[in-house]
Amino acid sequence: MKKNLVVVGYGGMGGGFHVKHAQSSDVVNLLGVYDIDEAKNELARSRGIFAYASLDEVLADERVDLITVAVPNDSHLDIVKRALEAGKSVICEKPVAMSVAELDEMIEAANKSGQIFSVHQNRRFDVDFLAIKKIVEDGKIGKPLRIESRIHGSRGIPSDWRGEKKHGGGMILDWGVHLIDQLLQIYKEPIKSIYCTVTNITNKEVDDGFYLTVTFESGAEAFIEVGTYNFIPLPRFYMKAEKGTALISDWRECAKVVKCKYWHESEVIPVETAAGLTKTMAPRDSITVEEWSEERPQSDVHNYYRNFCAAMDGTATQMVTHKEMRLVMRVMELAFLSAEKGTPVPYED
Ligand code: NAD
């Protein structure tokens, strides 16, 4: 049976994503929305959607099984806890909280209530991420030595709460949370250290971009960069692996893979460049490398709610676990600490 859903926060993500997807969902039935801004409730009503008068009214409605929280980051804690205490299951938008301490309070409330609680990590369904993950899992070019994941835009931070620290603004908590979660789905190994530097080009209060290196105990590295002042974007994913290289230039493109077939130093013919000869940079040919492009994976973002509802029924494990939520939150906390100190910091739970 479909779960009765209320979306709290009828803004960009609440209205533009959760309500729209709920209206075409095979697992949830949208009962209504609630927004603290009465104009947003009126807007919902004008579109034929029921809008509650208060959060208390939502929580007192016994028909409600599930609440999705899509409000600015600093308001997640209060609403998540109240919803769980009222006996509702909760999907919270990312970043689930502003700190590990806040998240622990939420997890405690979930454990006490016995309700399902998770964070909306919808970018696990991005086809570019699924493509790079598949290349790693197929193992054709061996284990990754370093994966670089980048998002480059040129419009700065949106001029809303995202530009203010007290609301949990900045790019680490915005795009960073997605990109960290994605790479930790690929590297399931212990983290050794975190090194992060931030940019403040268009916003002095919060990071408008960052460079983050996560070093694992094995020596492998994940590098994440978000930039909001990049008028020429760098490729979305670049992976250096034991036996080759993979590149995804843009989320709309297929992955290009080059595998080293033949490694023979003595047969390299030097090439002439403007200022001299080089063997090191001599190009490869089809005898020494194999090159192909990977088909784009299929993805259905409705699977997030399908999984969550199955977890409510006890027929599946929730896709984004509390442990994973905590790990991503901790990496972000240490990224802020590293940026503040200007040095790498060891990973500690
Ligand atoms: P937004 O500013 O467009 O909308 C937020 C809405 O919440 C507004 O309508 C506001 O009036 C309402 N609101 C604020 N405080 C409230 C409260 N206490 N109770 C009820 N309503 C309240 O912001 P947004 O872009 O929709 O972002 C909301 C959340 O979704 C954030 O946590 C953000 O990080 C997340 N988000 C996730 C994705 C994703 O891809 N998963 C994308 C965008 C935003």
Whether ligand 1 lies within 6 angstroms of the CB of 238 is answered as no
State in Å: Cα 161 to ligand 1 middle: 9
Whether ligand 1 lies within 6 angstroms of the CB of 122 is answered as yes
State in Å: Cα 316 to ligand 1 middle: 28
Topology adopted by domain 3-120: Rossmann fold (3.40.50)
| Cα–Cα distance measured from residue 152 to residue 251, given in angstroms and rounded to the nearest whole number | 12
| Cα–Cα distance measured from residue 157 to residue 203, given in angstroms and rounded to the nearest whole number | 8
Scanning the structure block, which residue is given the tokens 């454990």? Answer: 111
Whether ligand 1 lies within 6 angstroms of the CB of 37 is answered as yes
| Cα–Cα distance measured from residue 161 to residue 100, given in angstroms and rounded to the nearest whole number | 21
Whether ligand 1 lies within 6 angstroms of the CB of 43 is answered as no
Q: What's the angle, vertex CA 117, arms to CA 91 and CA 11, rounded to 5?
A: 15
State in Å: Cα 14 to ligand 1 middle: 6
Whether ligand 1 lies within 6 angstroms of the CB of 10 is answered as yes
Nearest CA to ligand 1 atom 8: 11
CB 141 within 8 A of CB 247: no
The structural domains of the chain, with segments of one domain joined by +, span 3-120, 124-299+330-346
Q: Which atom of ligand 1 is nearest to the CA of 121?
A: 41
Neighbours of 307 (CB within 10 A): 18
Whether ligand 1 lies within 6 angstroms of the CB of 119 is answered as no
- Joined tokens for residue 49: 């959607």
Q: What is the pLDDT of residue 151?
A: 98
Whether ligand 1 lies within 6 angstroms of the CB of 14 is answered as yes
Q: What is the pLDDT of residue 266?
A: 65
Q: What's the angle, vertex CA 292, arms to CA 290 and CA 297, rounded to 5?
A: 145
| Cα–Cα distance measured from residue 8 to residue 113, given in angstroms and rounded to the nearest whole number | 20
Enter the CATH code of domain 124-299+330-346: 3.30.360.10
| Cα–Cα distance measured from residue 154 to residue 231, given in angstroms and rounded to the nearest whole number | 5
Nearest CA to ligand 1 atom 12: 9
State in Å: Cα 71 to ligand 1 middle: 3
Scanning the structure block, which residue is given the tokens 């029921």? Answer: 50
Scanning the structure block, which residue is given the tokens 């212990």? Answer: 190
Whether ligand 1 lies within 6 angstroms of the CB of 35 is answered as yes
**Nearest residue to 187 (alpha-carbon basis) of 229, 145, 151, 128:** 145
**Nearest residue to 98 (alpha-carbon basis) of 113, 84, 114, 80:** 80
- Joined tokens for residue 62: 């016994």
State in Å: Cα 70 to ligand 1 middle: 4
Four-point Cα dihedral 162, 163, 167, 168, nearest 10: 70
Q: Which atom of ligand 1 is nearest to the CA of 123?
A: 40
3-state helix, strand, coil in the chain (%, to 5): 35, 25, 40
Burial of 312 (0-12, 13-18, 19+ CB in 10 A): middle
Q: Could you tell me which residues come within 8 angstroms of residue 181 by beta carbon, excluding any fewer than 6 positions away? A: 94, 121, 123, 124, 320, 324, 328
Q: How many helices (H) and strands (E) does the chain have?
A: 11, 16
CB 174 within 8 A of CB 93: no
| Cα–Cα distance measured from residue 288 to residue 120, given in angstroms and rounded to the nearest whole number | 44
3 state DSSP class of 212: strand
**Nearest residue to 307 (alpha-carbon basis) of 294, 316, 295, 297:** 316
pLDDT tens per residue across all 349 residues of the chain: 999 999 999 999 999 999 999 999 999 999 999 999 999 999 999 999 999 999 999 999 999 999 999 999 999 999 999 999 999 999 999 999 999 999 999 999 999 999 999 999 999 999 999 999 999 999 999 999 999 999 999 999 988 999 999 999 999 999 999 999 999 999 999 999 999 999 999 999 999 999 999 999 999 999 999 999 999 999 999 999 999 999 999 998 999 999 998 887 666 777 777 777 787 888 888 888 999 999 999 999 999 999 999 999 999 999 999 999 999 999 999 999 999 999 999 999 8
Q: What is the pTM of this model?
A: 0.96
State in Å: Cα 322 to ligand 1 middle: 22
Report residue 199: phi and psi, to 5°.
-115, 150
290 - beta bridge partners?
Answer: 259
- Joined tokens for residue 325: 């939520």
3 state DSSP class of 250: coil
Nearest CA to ligand 1 atom 43: 13
Q: What is the pLDDT of residue 228?
A: 98
